[in-house]
Amino acid sequence: MNRAHKITITKWSILVGAAGCLEIIARAGMIRRSTLTPVSEMFITLWKFFATGEIPVRFLKESSIAGNFFITFGEILLSFSFAVLIGLPIGILLWKFKALARILNPYLVSYYAIPVFALYPLIVGLFGIGILSITFMGWLFAIVAVIINTATGFEEVNKRIYPKVGKSLRLSRSKIFLWIYFPAATPYIFTGLKLGFIYSIIGVIASEFILSTKGLGYLVRFSYSAFETEIMYASMLLIVIIAVLINGALMRMEAWVYGRQGR
Amino acid sequence: MAVLEVRSLGKVYASHEVNIPSVEALKNINLTVNKGEFISIIGPSGCGKSTLFGVIGGLNECTSGEILIKGEKVRGPHPSIGMVFQEESAFPWLTCSENVEFGLKMMGVDKKERRAKSKEMIELVGLSEFENHYPGELSGGMRQRVAIARTLVMDPEIILMDEPFGALDEQTRVILGEELLRIWERIRATILFITHSISESVMLSDRIHVMSCRPGTFKKTIDVDIPRPRSSSTISTQRFGEITDQIWKELKEETTKAMKIRPSECVWADIHE
């Protein structure tokens, strides 16, 4: 068995071991069932969600699994799309206008030090409880990652040589931007998009705990307060699985973007 | 008729600040290049070689004098001029063939024609096996071949090269130099080659202009009468040694002078290029 092999096995055994420990702790009764359910049961409950298409909790406004999933996913996509649509141009403006960048820089670098979730009463006041306020929170959380990475991406383009190549081919300024600067900045821009997407997920799920009556985050909170521990864990598991899958897809895309450039 | 003519060209980097003096980078440069010639310009670092390259290529403006291509006065980048840069300029996000096709694509040449032309050029620079590789997967020498092919594919009558092999190791330089001669003989273009390597200039050129240190001007012109075709064995001939010696004598004085220029001035001129 070679080294890489051993590393792979160790990597996976951490996950399996942790799950196994939780399973044993729960089964042995070291922690009450109402606090922790065995991991195997989490999977079984989750499986039941999908088998029946329903979440078996009383008084739940949206009880179909697909309904909850699409609401949450829709909010994530919406907040992410707006983060990109507004963040990309702002990032480009920051790169084009250095004075603007210098003015906004202190705000941007300290942005993530501020816990935006603490602002939730304000958001409720502005947008009420529902899709709009959640999407806004996801957007608020994601946009600065997109802005900063876009600006950095263009900043890092090799200014000594690429503009000369464009000029020597007699390209217009807009063509130089579109065909040289933009692709040159792509790896950074992509990093911004990846982070932005992850921040959108965090922002949306976390906001659903407090600002929602539907969706996967709300499902966790509702089942928690309804003492439906099994359903709560199954919902948490579902969120984790979705997040891991999305992250895996983004990492693959990133490897493709960077790999092409041999970085 | 001369394809390229440079008449009493000068370039001053004007200073806008009180405590920084203006820098005269080029002064009274005169150059006549005939069709099919291989001309080298050699000089100490910081003598304005790259400035001259930029001005002839139309990337920078000159402050006096004029440039004529086929008898016509030009300003800005001219379609009959192709440029190859010292820095790595192959785009890392495009494959070899996409890099070579880039200029044609921007001109709106259709895909089929682009493919055919780029294939031919890639073959000419000896990268056929690597058509679909990204520059990141190639060596420095190969990447510079991509840059050369990208310029050649535009079918320029005059090719300006600014120390194209400057960033490469000695062996690769010699090999690429030979390759360049082979390519030049095939395409029959006119090449204006900027270098600080004496042996490279003697090996490649019909004529060598030695530049003085700042303000850069042509101090001496040397005809290289070594018969073609030349190869790496040319280096060991007596005539090669004589010409090399002659250039070195001219350069030595300038290089010593150049070393005494305050580095701050050089940096300053760099920024403005």
Contact B85 A165 (CB under 8 A): yes
Contact present, A199 and A248 (Cβ < 8 Å): no
What are phi and psi for residue B227, nearest 5 degrees? -65, 150
Does residue B226 form part of some domain? yes
Does residue B105 form part of some domain? no
Give the per-residue pLDDT at A263.
Answer: 45
Does residue B13 form part of some domain? yes
Q: When comparing pLDDT for A175 and B252, which is higher?
A: A175
Kindly state the greatest CA–CA separation across chain A.
75
For A114-125, how does the pLDDT look when each residue is reduced to its tens digit (9 = 90+)?
888 888 889 889
Give the per-residue pLDDT at A259.
Answer: 66
Q: Does A53 touch chain B (CB under 8 A)?
A: no
pLDDT of B267 above 80: no
What would the mean pLDDT of A169-191 be, rounded to a whole number? Answer: 92
Could you give the number of structural domains in chain B? Answer: 1
Contact A183 B91 (CB under 8 A): yes
Cβ-Cβ contacts under 8 Å, A184 against chain B: 91-93
Give the per-residue pLDDT at A200.
Answer: 95
Least confident piece of the model among B99-113, B122-136, B166-180: B166-180
Q: What is the CATH number of the domain that holds B263?
A: 3.40.50.300
Q: Which of B57, B81, B93 sits opposite A184 (nearest CB)?
A: B93
Contact present, B190 and B36 (Cβ < 8 Å): yes
Q: What share of chain B is helix, strand, coil (3-state, %, to 5)?
A: 40, 25, 35
Q: What percent of chain B has pLDDT over 70?
A: 95
What would the mean pLDDT of B188-217 be, rounded to a whole number? Answer: 89
DSSP string, B192-233: EEEES-HHHHHHH-SEEEEEPSSSB-EEEEEE--PPSS--GG
For A28-41, how does the pLDDT look when each residue is reduced to its tens digit (9 = 90+)?
988 888 889 999 99
pLDDT of A55 above 50: yes
Cα separation of B135 and B53, whole Å?
25
Q: Does B153 touch chain A (CB under 8 A)?
A: no
Give the per-residue pLDDT at B272.
Answer: 44
ipTM of the complex: 0.85
Could you tell me the residue range of the domain that residue B229 belongs to? 4-80+156-272
Does residue B91 form part of some domain? no
